[in-house]
Structure 1
């Protein structure tokens, strides 16, 4: 029998019309439960991401002095864009891992490299997001520094579904950015509340020598997976009618 594609969770069409529910409490509870059984692979993925970013910082420090980096906004912007480009495929891989976990599919650390399957679209989303954040933040600083922080928070929230749409659904980068903005605005207060709760939990996680990050960082990507599943839906491949378990994401 041929493989069958099945969508678990929400619907992209309905999400674009605002026909979805977002329960902050349920998302947090489900993300916590998912993380209990899907921790090790994400930790491994984060270590790979961290290692590559450390290498990037060392490379920058070999070209520019620390004083030059600290005093030059241009160098800092360049570093931000380079980080976005280098990290994009790995972040996409982490997000895809979280999406898989949300529908009960186990992953391994090497799955963090699955984002390279859609390398250019992920980089495009990352670069546009970074440039937009830098540009708008600079404009807001002219009004008031606090506005820059608020706008940065807003941009992060409204673009949070763009990479998942690229890596799971294969949506083009510009469409993914548009879809993310449109979908999040229907329930923007809840998205912002959820984001602020995560920031608060991250702050608490840092207090005990950063040990709490071992749990919180994987949970963030499992949370993205749960939110994505509930709102947009995850397309999986069902191997057969005798085996109801969905084994592979169809991306």
Structure 2
């Protein structure tokens, strides 16, 4: 299921895309209205592909949760076993989440997308797992330290996972590159994130029907945010979409 073909919005010119150099120098803008407007335009023709990708993601998560419950029944108080199971689930779900993010990024530059791309990032499972584990620990420590550092890091690190998937960065390099770049426009990125959360919360009110549009739009919006800050690698653009 692909979004190629009909009624695609024009591809953004290269000069409007970011790069690592621009990101590090703070040479980028975060226009919340422009990002949401473009994301809405790009939702048409892509929403069912993204929903199918989400269905694959949540389907696997549910199956993992069911599988994880079985050892808990056999060894009810196996704390060590529970930790191992949770880490194993994290190792599987993090590449899946990276795949969802990358679908949003590909749509942001009008590259072809398909739901199966959610499965394309298991080749970088180890760095993604290590990154997510370290990021979670650092954010937790931040929340313990008077909450505000945790909020800061939650936003500052939000582009680290796609940096590993798209740019093939190492764990610490991705965390620091995301933190240093986002910090230069932290309040704008925070505002965009809050507004997207609010839009999805409102979309849930009429039986969740609004999520049919807002979930794909949100996925694409974060892809646009990443594109505007860091650009999109040729490897991502040219990856197999058959």
Fold-level match, TM-score > 0.5? yes
Task: Give unmatched runs, 5+ long, in structure 2.
Answer: 1-12
Which of 129, 152, 155 is matched with 2:153 structurally? 155
TM-score (norm 1): 0.78
Q: Which is strand-richer, 1 or 2?
A: 1
Alignment partner, residue 127 of structure 1: 133
TM-score (norm 2): 0.81
Q: Which moved more, 1:7-16 or 1:33-42?
A: 7-16
* Alignment of 1:103 onto 2:103: no
Offset at residue 151 of structure 1 (A): 5.0
Offset at residue 167 of structure 1 (A): 0.9
**Within-5 A mapping of 1:182-201:** 182-201=180-199
Alignment partner, residue 3 of structure 1: none
Aligned partners of 1:18 and 1:229: how far apart in 2? 14
**Within-5 A mapping of 1:1-251:** 9-64=17-72, 81-137=87-143, 139-140=144-145, 147=147, 152-236=150-234, 248=238
Task: Give unmatched runs, 5+ long, in structure 1.
Answer: 1-5, 238-245
8 A contact 2:53–2:115 mirrored in 1: yes
| Residues 7/116 of structure 1: CA separation in 2 closer, same or farther (3 Å cut) | farther
Aligned partners of 1:27 and 1:81: how far apart in 2? 35
- What secondary structure sits across from 2:209 in the alignment? coil
| Residues 26/115 of structure 1: CA separation in 2 closer, same or farther (3 Å cut) | same
Aligned partners of 2:217 and 2:86: how far apart in 1? 24
8 A contact 1:27–1:223 mirrored in 2: yes
Aligned partners of 1:89 and 1:164: how far apart in 2? 10
| Residues 84/38 of structure 1: CA separation in 2 closer, same or farther (3 Å cut) | same
Offset at residue 180 of structure 1 (A): 0.4
- What secondary structure sits across from 2:207 in the alignment? coil
| Residues 78/188 of structure 1: CA separation in 2 closer, same or farther (3 Å cut) | farther
Offset at residue 76 of structure 1 (A): 9.0
Alignment partner, residue 241 of structure 1: none
1:19-51 CA-to-partner distances (Å, cap 9, x unmatched) read 111111101111111112211221111111101
Q: Which moved more, 1:7-16 or 1:47-56?
A: 7-16
